[in-house]
């Protein structure tokens, strides 16, 4: 039972980080109806800036710089690239984000080389013990930080003029534009928010027990993709639920790998995608996604 509780708590913690990444996918999709495949490179950019600056600035200023840097990169991608394709088919825009991701990831991995960079976090390798259950302090910090950020985003989404503009743009862009909503600003802010969330997620994906920021870190963002899909790409609540489901599924499947040997090696990495496929077979729009009306 102790092992199960440890795996469950660890899964909820890493799932909350996946929820942050998935929320970035959802924010951009709600603002522009585009699936952003460049999200992994935004995550890598935020982590890289934090890792490079923490020796000179200290951890918290470096983290702030990493968050700001990823937000600027996201805004630049929207302003310099995506805005040029406004009005194009959404599938074309999604392919454009793949090209952007290749360019950014190639440059960042070239800078990283074979190095593994520490982010200088204050938690180190310390663990907490509760009645025989041990949990890394970084996991607790990840859960608390993700909960605070997601709560703040949901409140802003519902009770600020920015949130109203986002909801209006997601509901009907044409009508929103006629009502005075500036779609360009909504799209720009969505990319900036997604970049900032990705930078925070990069921090908790690269601290203990993982070794640090490396070339493969961007692949972690791909684990959040099934979270966004199974939750529903246009649902902020779905991003949270999807992230937690993916995190717990991955943690339990990895922890009980030996008992699941008949399914093959690496079932921990594969399990979230199997859950995603199972959910989509029942609910094609995801658990909380909006069903497209169909004429019958």
90-144 pLDDT, tens digit per residue, is 888 899 999 999 999 999 999 988 889 998 889 888 888 887 888 889 989 999 9
Rounded distance between C-alpha atoms, residue 70 and residue 198, angstroms: 7
Confidence class of residue 198 from pLDDT cuts 50, 70 and 90?
very high
pLDDT at position 79 over 90: yes
The CA-based angle 221-48-103, given to 5 degrees, is 65
Instruction: Identify which of 105, 82, 98 has the alpha carbon closest to the alpha carbon of residue 225.
Output: 98
| Long-range contacts from 289-296, C-beta under 8 angstroms, 24+ separation | 289/231, 289/232, 289/233, 289/234, 289/235, 289/238, 290/232, 290/234, 290/235
Rounded distance between C-alpha atoms, residue 234 and residue 116, angstroms: 35
Cβ-based burial of 146 (10 A; exposed 0-12, middle 13-18, buried ≥19): buried
pLDDT at position 296 over 60: no
Ordered by start, the domain boundaries in the chain are: 1-215
Count of Cβ atoms closer than 10 Å to residue 148 Cβ: 10
Quote helix, strand, coil % in the chain, to nearest 5.
Answer: 75, 5, 20
Strand partners, 213: 117
Per-residue pLDDT, 211: 85
pLDDT at position 295 over 60: no
Alpha helices in 81-130, H assignment, sequence order = 90-112
Instruction: Identify which of 283, 219, 218 has the alpha carbon closest to the alpha carbon of residue 245.
Output: 283
What global pTM score does this model have?
0.91
248-292 pLDDT, tens digit per residue, is 999 888 888 877 777 777 777 888 888 889 888 988 888 887 776
pLDDT at position 49 over 90: yes
Instruction: Identify which of 41, 89, 21 has the alpha carbon closest to the alpha carbon of residue 231.
Output: 21
The H or E element that residue 141 is part of is helix 137-159
């Amino acid at each position: 039972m102790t092992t199960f509780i440890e795996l469950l708590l660890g899964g909820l913690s890493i799932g909350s980080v996946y929820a942050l990444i998935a929320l970035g996918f959802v924010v951009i999709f709600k603002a522009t109806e585009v699936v952003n495949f460049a999200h992994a490179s935004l995550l890598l950019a935020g982590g890289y800036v934090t890792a490079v600056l923490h020796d000179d600035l200290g951890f918290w200023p470096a983290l702030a710089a990493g968050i700001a840097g990823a937000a600027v990169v996201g805004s630049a991608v929207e302003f310099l690239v995506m805005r040029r394709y406004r009005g194009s088919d959404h599938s074309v825009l999604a392919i454009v984000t793949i090209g952007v991701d290749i360019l950014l990831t190639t440059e960042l991995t070239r800078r990283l080389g074979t190095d593994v960079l520490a982010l200088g976090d204050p938690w180190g390798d310390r663990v907490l013990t509760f009645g025989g259950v041990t949990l890394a302090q970084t996991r607790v910090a990840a859960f608390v930080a993700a909960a605070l950020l997601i709560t703040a985003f949901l409140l802003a989404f519902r009770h600020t003029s920015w949130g109203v503009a986002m909801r209006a743009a997601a509901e009907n862009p044409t009508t929103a534009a006629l009502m005075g909503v500036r779609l360009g600003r909504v799209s720009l802010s969505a990319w900036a928010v997604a970049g900032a969330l990705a930078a925070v997620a990069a921090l908790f994906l690269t601290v203990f027990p993982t070794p640090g920021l490396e070339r493969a870190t961007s692949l972690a963002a791909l684990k959040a993709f099934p979270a966004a899909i199974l939750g529903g790409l246009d649902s902020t609540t779905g991003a949270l639920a999807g992230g937690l489901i993916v995190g717990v599924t991955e943690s339990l499947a990895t922890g009980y790998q030996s008992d699941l040997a008949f399914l093959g090696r690496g079932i921990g990495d594969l399990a979230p995608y199997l859950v995603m496929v199972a959910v989509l077979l029942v609910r094609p729009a995801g658990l909380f996604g909006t069903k497209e009306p169909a004429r019958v």
